[in-house]
Chain A
Amino acid sequence: MRTGIFEFASKLRKREISAVELTKEYIGAIEEKNPTLNAYVHLTFDTALQAAEQADRMLKEGDAPVLCGIPMALKDNICTDGLPTTCCSKILDGFRPYYDAIVWEKLKAHGAVLLGKTNMDEFAMGSTSETSCYGAPLNPINTAYVTGGSSGGSASVVCADLAVYSLGSDTGGSIRLPASFCGVVGLKPTYGAVSRYGLIAYGSSLDQIGPLTSSVKDAAIVFDAIKGGDKRDQTSVDFDYGVLTQALDRDVKGVRIGVAEEFFDGINPEIKSKIEEAITLFEKNGAIIESFRLPALKLSLPVYYIIACAEASSNLGRYDGIRYGNRASSYTSIEDMIVKNRSEGFGDEVKRRIMLGTYVLSSGYYDAYYKKACLIREEINQEFDTVFDKCDVLIAPTAPNTAFPLNYKGASPVEMYLSDICTVSINIAGIPAISVPCGEDAKGLPIGMQIMGKKFDEAKVLQMAYFYEQTAGRKAGVNEGGARV
């Protein structure tokens, strides 16, 4: 087993290792492996070592939070005061915010040590992380494969043990999909559970920050540290979760697990059978399995792409290169400058989604697309509500397939969008979901199981995932080097 946060915290407190030493270990590993993996795009070793020194002081004084001195990573769309934050887009080249995202503010107060910013699809738009302006990060399980997206770098660094944990963001599956492809744990919390202030927006009504970790318990610890309502994000909610790690050990006896066949349509048979095995395992241990129908689910993909792209087209309007970011070398007028800055600064996928979003919001098309999508969103929410009246969690695959080979040309953009089929509805409904490793396919690539819960019932989602992890054992994940300490 990999060393988890609690074990590191214990070693730090017993002075078996200092935060500075631990940080240096990780820096060494990053220097060795990152040139190949391309998982980090901005390294922040200087500030990491300063933070580690500070963490050591906090530990010496006693009463330090559990995350104190633990090296970690942030997705490159989470604002870090004075440090590069580029969304892996040329248009934000050189951008350093002068403010922190709330999640980073919170983790800093816990004594977290930030090793760097992780690679991602440009503006979180993609399913493979290949739309990054820095090139794709590689899957540590097999470097011929993608990490999944958009939080590919965040999954990769946890998988390769180049960070104890990382934060990603999930708009339509961007935490869960790469977690599944890289064999790590990824939690997308309830919409509003974590403040979005300082998360560079893609689809504002769908975006949510969450942890990627090597174990379910670690996910619970990190989520516990970043959650909570915040006065700078009106959509955030202060929910009383109690002590989440204490909820993990509960029995699954009598827990009602829902299975909806719509989640299994068109899923790779290898994946389907692994998830079915997992469901059987829960049943053997006393959980009650029930079947449901979610007929509106088949509409979730178009609904997602309409709403996410509409919001993105507006959110990304501000990148004009006037105040920060990419500036064209020559231009004839202010209009020309803005056009050039944006044409040079954005990649194809981002442009595609801006155009799509602009189209669905334009007068004459608004009712047929955006408005209709909002209505169907309501219907999807209602279907989930109805199902969750009768069950505690839903179980499904995280993705219809395992990781794609790099530069996979077999899929059109629309086919690529299909890889989000299992995950997008969760963002539409704003409910929590976790992806836990669930074996591997014949090629040795990890498979992810998705466990979804009611709004603000992260406790149940984590509990079920923890039970599975502890019972089925972890078959995926890179543990070649074993525990580093």
Chain B
Amino acid sequence: MKYEIVCGIETHVELATKTKIFCGCTTEFGGEPNTHCCPVCTGQPGSLPILNQKVVEYAIKAGLALNCKINTKSHMDRKNYVYPDLPKAYQISQYDEPLCEKGYIELDSGKRIGITRIHIEEDAGKLIHENGYTYIDYNRGGVPLIEIVSEPDISSAEEAKEYAEKLQLTMRYIGISDCKMQEGSMRCDVNLSLRKPGDPHFGVRTETKNINSLSFIQKAVMAEEERQTDILDAGGTIVQQTMRYDDGTNSVTPMRDKENSDDYRYFPDPDILRFSVDDEKVEEIRASLPELPFDKLKRYMNVLELPEATAKQIFRYRKVAEFFEDALAEGASVKNAANLIVGTIFSNMNTEEEKELFAIGISAARFAALVKLADEKKINTGVAQSTLQKMLESGKSVEEFIKPEDLVGISDEALESLCKEAIDANPKAVADVRSGKDKAINMMFGYIMKKTGGKADIRKAEVLLRKLIEQ
């Protein structure tokens, strides 16, 4: 029996504010346990929270980037539950008045996955199990989070992955989070149920946690779909429970029953005043948003006419895209700038993180100066690449490696006489070319490149050589 997937994703994103959501402690990852703490984030008696306005601003940014409606009036609620990593025995979150609502993410197919809501809340501490003891590290306690809840609009494993990927990229782009799934700064929980095609009712759903990478989202959806299909096909029923995805075995196993749904006794936190964000502020935040990644991709392909593959490599990383666009503003050509970034600069960067950070030794202006020489055909591609590599290693400008005399040394007249020299020096090769062995022309290219130290424009040389040989 073939079933239809009904899937929604809840995503927790850690916000990259400098300080925690309710106190002045640093949000930095790592650090000796319990060193990024104070009375507020460890819930000491008598301490009170102060809402960090940056958190509100970042959440609004996320909301605007995901096409949400911003609720200008909002408040914080207490979600009461007992767990050792939650020092107040309640999490300050938002229940019935989330900051953002009713947005969407558009997939490549044009299908829109609805965003139900985005709310702000605090992260809990971390339990460390060691030598039969459990220790608590509250460094993460009070780190600001947004929870982005999607509608159950996702109907395949591929869509689930694409949704998460687009979400991740957008959050990174607007600079509110590094969204590292391995480090937990982006965590996706997959809610999934199956139903017969055409059935208006939802089936019983499960929630799958512990998904540590984008590709595992796809795998986890497939694994859970398979598990539920097997149960349904065998005439069984799905139990509403929380599942755990194990990437080692690529399987989904029950974590805990959720049959007795928890009663969190939500109520408005009396320590935090209701807050409002005026429309002006929302517009100010909207104006501060960068061009969003998928708008940029479209522009690169449609307006700049970059090939899809190249455009996709550049737009993914906000800093790369900025560098690229800065170089264009300095007068570099689209094609040469893009090819040099993807071909030469990226060859120095082995990981996604490096590309994300894009820490390179030269400015966009220096890069553009080099690209322009190539654009004006004053240097050929090979020289442009090798010079760029030297610039990257040294941080020096193009003038350090290419002298003006190098550039004028390969004028059209000089090239023509060089071509004549090459023909005279390689009579056999000339005869071979004339008899149809075209590859023999390489002998003459080699001669020219050797004489010019690789600086000749090889395409121009080819045109000249063919003309001379045919004469």
Q: Residues on A close to B: CB < 8 A? A: 77-79, 85, 87, 92, 95, 97-99, 101, 196-201, 203-205, 231-235, 310-311, 313-314, 317-318, 320, 322-323, 334, 338, 358, 361-363, 366, 370
Kindly state the separation between the CA atoms of A78 and B90 in the bound complex, as whole angstroms. 22
Determine the distance from Cα of A233 to Cα of B50 in the docked complex, in whole angstroms. 7
What residues of B have a CB within 8 angstroms of the CB of A358 in the complex? Answer: 265
Which residues of B, 10-52, contact A by the 8 Å Cβ criterion?
39, 42-51
* Contact yes or no, B273 A97, CB < 8 A: no
Min CB gap B368→A, angstroms: 47
The distance from the CB of A357 to the nearest CB of chain B, in whole angstroms, is 9
When chains A and B are docked, how far (Å) is the Cα of A303 from the Cα of B154? Answer: 46
Known contacts A361-B80, A362-B263, A370-B267; A200/B51 CB under 8 A: no
Quick check: is B84 within 8 A (CB to CB) of the other chain?
yes
Q: Which residues of B contact A313 (CB under 8 A)?
A: 80, 265
Nearest chain B CB to A95's CB is how many angstroms away?
7
Q: What are 28 A-B pairs with beta-carbon distances under 8 A?
A: A79-B45, A85-B45, A85-B46, A99-B46, A196-B48, A197-B47, A197-B48, A200-B45, A200-B46, A201-B45, A201-B46, A203-B270, A204-B270, A233-B48, A234-B48, A234-B49, A234-B50, A234-B271, A314-B78, A314-B267, A317-B80, A317-B82, A318-B88, A320-B89, A334-B134, A361-B80, A363-B265, A366-B265
Interface residues on B, range: 20 to 34
B: residues with CB less than 8 A from A are: 39, 42-51, 78, 80, 82, 84, 87-90, 134, 136, 263, 265-267, 270-273
Q: Is the CB of A310 within 8 A of B46?
A: no
Cα-based distance from A260 to B84 in the complex (angstroms): 49
* Cα A7 to Cα B46 with chains together (Å): 34
Residue on B with the closest CB to A101? B46
Q: Max chain B CB contacts within 10 Å: which of A197, A322, A370?
A: A197
List the 8 closest pairs (A to B, CB-CB), nearest first.
Answer: A317-B89, A205-B270, A361-B265, A204-B270, A198-B46, A200-B45, A79-B46, A200-B46
Inter-chain CA distance A200–B46, complex, in Å, is 4
B45 in contact with A95 (CB, 8 Å): yes
Given A97-B39, A314-B78, A363-B265, 16 extra CB contacts under 8 A: A78-B46, A85-B45, A98-B44, A99-B44, A197-B47, A200-B46, A201-B271, A232-B50, A234-B271, A234-B273, A313-B80, A313-B265, A314-B90, A318-B45, A320-B82, A334-B84
Q: Are the C-beta atoms of A234 and B272 separated by less than 8 Å?
A: yes
What distance in Å separates the Cβ of A434 from its nearest Cβ neighbour in chain B? 24
B130 to nearest A CB, angstroms? 15
Highest count of chain A CB atoms <10 Å: which of B46, B47, B80, B270: B46
CB of B87 within 8 A of CB of A323, answer yes
Kindly state the separation between the CA atoms of A85 and B46 in the bound complex, as whole angstroms.
Answer: 10
Contacts of B47 in A (CB 8 A): 99, 197-198
Measured between C-beta atoms, what is the minimum distance from B134 to chain A in Å?
7
Which of B47, B78, B263 has most A Cβ within 10 Å? B47
**Which B residues are in CB contact (< 8 Å) with A87?**
45
When C-beta atoms are compared, the residue in chain A nearest to B262 turns out to be: A363
How distant is B76 from chain A, measured CB to nearest CB, in Å? Answer: 10
Provide the residues of chain B in CB contact with A101, threshold 8 Å. 46
A217 to B263, CA, bound (A): 50
| Contact B39 A98, beta carbon cutoff 8 Å | yes
| Docked CA distance A242–B265 (Å) | 43
A231 touches B89 (CB 8 A): no
Nearest-neighbor residue (CB-CB) of B42 within chain A? A323
- A201 CA to B49 CA, complexed, in Å: 13
Whether B45 contacts A310 by the Cβ 8 Å rule is no
A235 CB contacts on chain B under 8 angstroms: 270-271, 273
List the B side residues contacting A85 at CB < 8 Å.
45-46
| A310 near B134: Cβ-Cβ < 8 Å | no
Interface-central residue, B78, B82, B136, B267, by most chain A CB under 10 Å? B267
Contact A314–B265 (Cβ < 8 Å): yes
B44 to chain A: closest residue by CB:
A97
Most chain B CB within 10 A, of A92, A98, A323, is at A323
Provide the residues of chain A in CB contact with B267, threshold 8 Å.
Answer: 310, 314, 361, 366, 370
Whether the pair A311, B45 counts as a contact (CB closer than 8 A) is no
- CB-CB under 8 A from B266, the residues of chain A are 361
Determine which residue in A78, A234, A334 has the highest number of CB atoms from chain B within 10 A of its CB, and name it. A234
Q: How far is the CA of A205 from the CA of B89 in the complex (A)?
A: 18
Given contacts A322-B84, A362-B265, contact A234 B51 (CB under 8 A): yes
Whether B272 and A314, one on each chain, are in contact in the complex, defined by CB atoms closer than 8 angstroms, is no
**With the chains together, A203 CA to B267 CA distance in Å?**
13
B82 CB → nearest A CB, Å: 7
Q: Give the distance in Å from the alpha carbon of A453 to the alpha carbon of B82 in the complex.
A: 41
Inter-chain contacts of A201 with B (CB < 8 A): 45-46, 271
